Structure formats: C-alpha cells, structure tokens
Chains A and B, each alone.
Chain A
Amino acid sequence: MTDDITTELACKELVEIITDYLEQTLPERDRIRFDAHILTCPPCREYVAEMQNTLRLTGRLTVESISPGARDELLRAFRRMKASSTGL
C-alpha cells in the first residue's frame, strides 16, 4: 500500500491515515502522498475540512465539572488539613 512515493494514495486509505496526518506522525513519504492527493482530489479536501471542522466543534463543547458544593467541601478539607498539620 505504501510502496513508494509515486504510488497514488486511494481515498479509502486517506480517511484511515488522516489522524496520523493531523497528528503529524505520518512517515514523510506518506505525508507527501497525502499532500499530493488532496491537491488533486476535491472530495478528500472536503473530508479533511470536515475532520478539522469536527475538531473545532468538539473544542466548543462545554465541560461538566463537580458541583460548587463539592468544591467548597474540598476547600474546607484542605483548610482542616493545613490547620492540623501546623498544630492549630
């Protein structure tokens, strides 16, 4: 599949190595084949754009955390720990 640099990348292969490409962990010759492919393949360019849009949208999801009450309780426990370790 990755015989040499001139072997054209199939779209079906591109969608499986796109994460390595975006993570910059793709071996150089595959990266070159990837870049060459998207230059001439509009659907794969669209696919790359959609993947990037997916990442961008995922980055906008809100993050759920612990409740304010639980947070306060932890801060009180931290204060108690400090008080007991300093003998107060």
Chain B
Amino acid sequence: MLRTSDAELVERLRDGDEATFARLIDAYSAPLLRLAVTFVQSRSVAEEVVQETWMAVVAGIGRFEGRSSVKTWLFKILTNKAKTRALNERRTIPFSDFDLDDGGEPAVDPSRFLPASHPQWPGHWATAPQPWSMGPEGTALDRETLAVLKRALEDLPRAQRVVVALRDVHGWPAADVCAALELTEANQRVLLHRGRSRLRGVLERYFADAPTLPSPASGGGKVNDGPHV
C-alpha cells in the first residue's frame, strides 16, 4: 500500500506537481530536522542540512528508483549530508555508533525495589510509584508539564531522543523508524524503552515535587516514601 502511494507520489513529483512537493515538505521537514540536530552543532546548521536534503530531492527525483520507500530515501540523503557536515565540524559521530552501550541503564532506580534476597517480596517495590496529579488539558499546570517533558526529551541521549521523538511525538510506526535510522527492531525497542522510562522518571519527580515548588528551600533531597508492597 505504501509502495503504491509512493510510486504515485514520485510520479507527481516528476510531473512537477508543486502541491505534492509542498505536502512532502510539510510532512517530513520536522522529523528530518529532528534527526539533523543530533549530528551537527547548531540548530541553524541542522536547518541548512534539511534544506540541502530537499534540494537534493528536487535535483534527484528523476533518479529515484523506488527500491526503498520515499521516507527511507529522504532519511538516507539527510544522514549522508549531516555526516558530511559533522565531519567538517570534526564531530564524527556516525549513526552506527549509536550509544546502546551505556551499561544497560535500569528503567527505575534499583534502590526502589526490595532485594532479590527478600524472603517474601523479592524484587517488588520498596518505594512504589505515586499517582500523578495532572491538570486538565490547556491549564497552566498542563502547559508547565509539557514544558518539563519537552526539556526532558531534549536532554535524552541523542539516539533515545530521535527514536522517542519519531515514535511518540511524530507517531511513526516502529518499522519506519528502523528503516529510516537503519536500526534493528530490537535496538529500536531498547532505545525507545530507555528513552520512555527516563521521561516517565522525570515526570514522576516533577509531579512529586509540584506541590512544594514555590519554596526553593524544600527542593533538595526530597525522599519519596511510598507505601511498601
């Protein structure tokens, strides 16, 4: 199905259908930019890389052979251009070196669980997750939550950041992310898991701290004493 619509898309682009090109730009510029910023120093250079990618599409649409999807093709062009830029900036961080080797960081701080040697509840929660008090959509609390989450997303290690953004912000299916980033399904899931787990952790700390926010004195070293299970 995707291939058919891709063939049609390419046909229209070759026919010079500007509306189709505009739709393509609108659909993919944001995810392309999201990937580009992981390679290069600055946002403005990332924008240039995206722009160069589109110019390459304009120049190369006649040569597109349809062996991959248009989406994969676009991301491959962008990756190549971004890598060239990164090399020029002496920032050699190819995508294949994506930081999976972080020692398998746990989703939740291990000290929040009872030890494996616990006679009754090995590996169960010692400090349980506390329910979140989220504000209704559109309220100040809600906007603040989104701002906290956005910052947390930007703070993720780059591979996690791109995968979580493409999956959860842009809503791409797993297979598309794997193809565009040349990741295996398993690695894609590991990155997604670590990224999502970190974001949940940030939100948990945010919601736990939220009621005491106005007082900076009570900010540090807060211990969350949830009930034992």
Instruction: Say if A and B assemble together.
Output: yes
Contact A12 B113 (CB under 8 A): yes
Number of interface residues of B (CB under 8 A): 56
Contact of A77 among B55, B108, B145, B229 (CB under 8 A): B55
Contact A66 B51 (CB under 8 A): yes
Residues of chain B lying within 8 A (CB to CB) of residue A86: 16
Shortest beta-carbon distance, B104 to chain A, in Å? 9
Whether, in the assembled complex, B219 has its beta carbon less than 8 Å from a beta carbon of chain A, the answer is no
A11 to B171, CA, bound (A): 28
- CB under 8 Å from chain A, chain B span 24-44: 25-26, 29-30, 33
Contact of B58 among A16, A19, A71, A78 (CB under 8 A): A78
Which interface class (under 10, 10 to 19, 20 to 34, 35 or more) fits A? 35 or more
Residues of chain A lying within 8 A (CB to CB) of residue B122: 10
- CB under 8 Å from chain A, chain B span 125-146: 125, 128-132, 134, 145-146
Which of B74-82, B95-103, B191-199 lies at the interface with chain A?
B191-199
Contact A59 B168 (CB under 8 A): yes
Shortest beta-carbon distance, B128 to chain A, in Å? 4
Secondary structure of the A contact surface, majority rule = helix
Interface string of B1-32 (1 = CB under 8 A from A): 00000000000000010100110011001100
Q: Which residue of B lies closest to A52 (CB)?
A: B200
Contact A41 B58 (CB under 8 A): no
The answer to whether residues A65 and B30 also contact, given A19-B189, A53-B134 and a CB cut-off of 8 A, is: yes
Name B residues whose Cβ lies closer than 8 Å to a Cβ of A: 16, 18, 21-22, 25-26, 29-30, 33, 47, 50-51, 54-55, 58-59, 62, 106-108, 110, 113, 116, 122-125, 128-132, 134, 145-146, 149-150, 153, 164, 168-171, 174, 185, 189, 192-193, 196-197, 199-200, 203-204, 226, 229
A-B contact pairs, 13 of them (CB 8 A): A11-B123, A19-B192, A19-B197, A20-B193, A54-B200, A61-B149, A66-B25, A70-B50, A73-B51, A74-B54, A77-B54, A78-B18, A81-B59
